[in-house]
Amino acid sequence: MHLESHLATLSEKHQKLDNIIQQEEHRPSPNSVILHGLKKEKLKLKDEMERYRQTG
C-alpha cells in the first residue's frame, strides 16, 4: 500500500510539472532556462516512478 501511495504522489507531481511546462511553452517568450530545469525535474520523477514500478 505504501508503494502505491508513493507512486500516486510522484505521478501527481509529474502531472503538475507537465502542466507548468505546457504553460511556459505557450507563453509569448518562453524561458528556456526554466523549461530546461522543469523538464529535467520531470524526467527525474519519471525515472523514480519507473524504479518503484520495477521493484514493486
Q: What whole-number distance in Å separates Cα of residue 8 and Cα of residue 3?
A: 9
What is the pLDDT at residue 53?
86
Least Cα distance to 36 among 25, 50, 47 occurs for: 25
**How is residue 46 annotated by DSSP?**
H
What is the pLDDT at residue 24?
95
pLDDT tens readout for residues 1-35 = 588 898 999 999 999 999 999 999 999 999 999 99
Q: Please say if the pLDDT value at position 56 is more than 70.
A: no
Least Cα distance to 32 among 42, 21, 48 occurs for: 21
What is the pLDDT at residue 26?
96
| The model's pTM | 0.85
Looking at per-residue confidence, does 33 or 53 come out higher? 33
